[in-house]
Chains A and B, each alone.
Chain A
Amino acid sequence: MKAIEFKQPASQRVYNSYIERCKRVVKPLSRQDQEECLLEINSYIYEYINDHSDDEMTALLNILDRIGDPEITLREVVAGKKIDQAIKTFNIKHLLQALFLNLRNGVAYILLALMTVMLLTFPVLIVLKLVNPAQTGIWVGPGVFFFGITDNPKSLREISGDFFIPVVITLGVLLYFLIIYILKAIRKKKP
């Protein structure tokens, strides 16, 4: 992105500081999306100043005021682009970032974040099964059914046996696709 050049050093400092804030906000995005957001903000600043060339500093302060705090104005754009990236790349890191950025956008995202945290426990369960097979499994007992680790295996019955790891992997894959599917559905539904 080509930076705008100002005549007054004070204006340049204000502009540079604002662009730095924008850069921090868009940092979770892909390099291409970061560049796209910055180019767009830069274009709004440049066109406004070009159209109000009487007083550089006043014009700059006016346009920055009109664009607003990058942390607020760019929030929706960054959150939306991050969801697109998560859906496109199937990368768990992007998925977590997308869910975190969208947490305040509704209960559905909170539930999805909980589902993702649950998904992250699956590899831990696989490791635990390898390290401590006697205490890790799918447990059934009187009025009890759970998935994980127990320190009292004698009162419970383990039902998955040698299939625990394949079951966890299958459930993990299914849960991951379910999260992506729900994410796509929410994005489509959003007005």
Chain B
Amino acid sequence: MHSTSQCYIFAPVKNEFIKNWETQLKKGLLPYFVLKALEAQERYGYELIQHLKDDFNTEVTESTMYPLLTRLQKEELLISKWIEQPTGIPRKYYYISENGRINLAAMKKSIDENLTK
């Protein structure tokens, strides 16, 4: 009885801790996910959000994605181009730059060395 009660008390705390830790981990890995998602093809902001959700199981809102894409572009890891659409609302497509590919490879190496041991 005593031991059951202990499990009941501590299990949710541990889950909350893991949940927070996963959030922080994903936040740290977000630039990697974005570069990885753009490695094979260019995408626009909303498409990137959907891709991260479907392929990386990572939920990102526009309030996070927009400043992040601006920052990565400033770091010259991404380049962008506005493409006119028949709707009249253009899309801003993001492409990975050569510098972005070099950094993506370095990030992948770092993940392999530090997280997949």
> Is A149 in contact with chain B by the CB < 8 A criterion?
no
Interface size class of B (residues with CB under 8 A): 20 to 34
> Is A40 in contact with chain B by the CB < 8 A criterion?
yes
A41-63 to B contact mask, C-beta < 8 Å, 1/0: 11110111011000000000001
**Chain A facing B: main interface SS:** helix
A19 to chain B, nearest CB (A): 13
Q: Complex Cα distance A42/B67, Å?
A: 15
> Is A161 in contact with chain B by the CB < 8 A criterion?
no
**With A73-B63, A76-B67, A80-B71 as contacts: A42 and B46 at CB distance below 8 Å:** no
B89 to chain A, nearest CB (A): 4
B46-74 to A contact mask, C-beta < 8 Å, 1/0: 11001000000000011100110011001
A69 to chain B, nearest CB (A): 9
B68-101 to A contact mask, C-beta < 8 Å, 1/0: 0011001000000010000111111000000000
* Docked-complex contact B89 and A44, CB < 8 angstroms: no
Cβ contacts under 8 Å, B45 to chain A = 40, 43-44, 47
Cβ contacts under 8 Å, A72 to chain B = 63
**With A40-B45, A77-B66 as contacts: A46 and B89 at CB distance below 8 Å:** yes
**Chain B facing A: main interface SS:** helix
* Docked-complex contact A80 and B89, CB < 8 angstroms: no
* Docked-complex contact A47 and B91, CB < 8 angstroms: yes
* Docked-complex contact B70 and A43, CB < 8 angstroms: no
Cβ contacts under 8 Å, B47 to chain A = 47
> Is A115 in contact with chain B by the CB < 8 A criterion?
no
Closest to A75 in B: B67
* Docked-complex contact A73 and B67, CB < 8 angstroms: yes
Interface size class of A (residues with CB under 8 A): 20 to 34
* Docked-complex contact A39 and B90, CB < 8 angstroms: yes
Q: Complex Cα distance A72/B64, Å?
A: 11
Q: Complex Cα distance A66/B70, Å?
A: 17
Closest to A66 in B: B61
Q: Complex Cα distance A84/B71, Å?
A: 12
Cβ contacts under 8 Å, B82 to chain A = 39
Partner of A43 from B44, B63, B71 at Cβ < 8 Å: B44
**With A48-B46, A77-B70 as contacts: A2 and B63 at CB distance below 8 Å:** no
Q: List 21 A-B contacts (CB under 8 A).
A: A2-B88, A2-B89, A40-B66, A41-B66, A42-B89, A43-B89, A46-B87, A47-B45, A47-B91, A51-B46, A51-B50, A66-B61, A66-B63, A68-B63, A73-B63, A73-B66, A77-B66, A77-B70, A80-B71, A80-B74, A84-B74
A residues with a Cβ closer than 8 A to B are: 2, 4, 39-44, 46-48, 50-51, 63, 66-68, 72-73, 76-77, 80, 84, 187
